[in-house]
Structure 1
């Protein structure tokens, strides 16, 4: 399903394999990837394969690209998906490093959360981030989330495990 949401500075839209070059810009950046669960993309074919594997028509997953209205450039991606074990919607996001610190992720995520709340109804959201990732802590706080509990997570390939915080917001 093709989705499109607009904010003051962004167009949030479904991404496709045609977006692989733009997505590879952040998926291959070690600074962006440092705390991510996916391994560093070392080849654009990895990005294309990941995009082909996505279920963009899923009813319980809303993952959208962040396009700057001013330039039309795809600069990040994020969304939420339902986690049955937590009975909450989990958030996640990526943003090209040169756009960090401009409030774009909270702007995008607030719009996605509002969209999904109207479509599905949300009673809680959660977000997990490495304890050393102060930028993600700030995003969670801007989304009205607070500390819930300590946790750990690992990269999909097992190359790193992070002590983390799980933040939560109930509606």
Structure 2
């Protein structure tokens, strides 16, 4: 699995040792508000999730470590869908929002896939109300293509979404 270094981040594989740090965002209702997972109730729930995080040749999953203090501040990934599009996503600790980390991490993941597979097609989706994520997706060069909807894994949350694709 690749490790990527950007100006401010290290993108590296997640491990079970990351559970306490990851719980700082997986257990935060503000972070989980638009996510497909429910807010984690305990570090053990986060450990269960970490056990499922796997990377393959068509799915790259990362922990995002801030270089300045070596602190894990988020996670995300990029994966190939059956429709031929690569979709990326991310989430960060609440106190790291609005600092450009999501754009920096997303661009690094996109560059990884393009360096391996060429000029691939990209897509991303966010809750229609989540203007910050829409802005990140647009900064990554994707264009709005329409509305859709998605729901949480447990089916308790449903969202109107904005869909984006590369040209």
- After TM superposition, the score normalised by the length of structure 1 is 0.94
Q: 1:157 aligns with which of 134, 154, 159?
A: 154
Match of 2:163 in 1: 166
Determine the structure 1 residue equivalent to 2:108: 111
The alignment covers a number of residue pairs equal to: 167
Task: Write out per-residue CA displacement over residues 101-140 of structure 1, whole angstroms, 9 at most, x where no aligned residue.
Answer: 1111111111111011111334211111111101111101
Structure 2 CA distance for aligned equivalents of residues 68 and 54 of structure 1: 20
Task: Name whichever of 132-141 and 47-56 sits farther off.
Answer: 47-56
Relative to 1, partners in 2 of residues 1:148 and 1:25: Cα closer, same or farther, differing over 3 Å? Answer: same
**1:21 corresponding residue in structure 2:** 20
- Write the deviation string for residues 37-63 of structure 1: whole angstroms up to 9, x where unpaired: 01110111111111112223x111111
Residue by residue over 1:79-106, the C-alpha shift from the partner in whole angstroms, topping out at 9 and shown as x without a partner, is 201111x320011100111111111111
**Does the CA contact (< 8 Å) of 1:88 and 1:122 recur in 2?**
no
Indicate the larger mover: 113-122 or 99-108.
113-122
- Give the aligned CA root-mean-square deviation in angstroms: 1.0
Task: State the match for 1:147 in structure 2.
Answer: 144
Q: TM-score, normalised by structure 2?
A: 0.96
How far, CA to CA, are the matches of 2:14 and 2:34 in structure 1?
A: 22
Using the alignment, how far apart are the partners of 1:55 and 1:69 within structure 2?
A: 23
Partner residue of 1:41? Answer: 40
- Look up the SS of the partner of 2:115 in the other structure: helix
Identify unmatched segments of 5+ residues in structure 2: none
User: Using a 3 Å threshold, how does the CA distance of structure 1 residues 98 and 158 change in structure 2: closer, same or farther?
Assistant: same
Matches within 5 A, 1:20-169: 20-56=19-55, 58-84=56-82, 86-169=83-166
Q: Within 1, Cα distance between the matches of 2:134 and 2:79?
A: 19
Unaligned runs of 5+ in 1: none
User: Is the contact made by 1:89 and 1:122 (CA closer than 8 Å) also made in structure 2?
Assistant: no
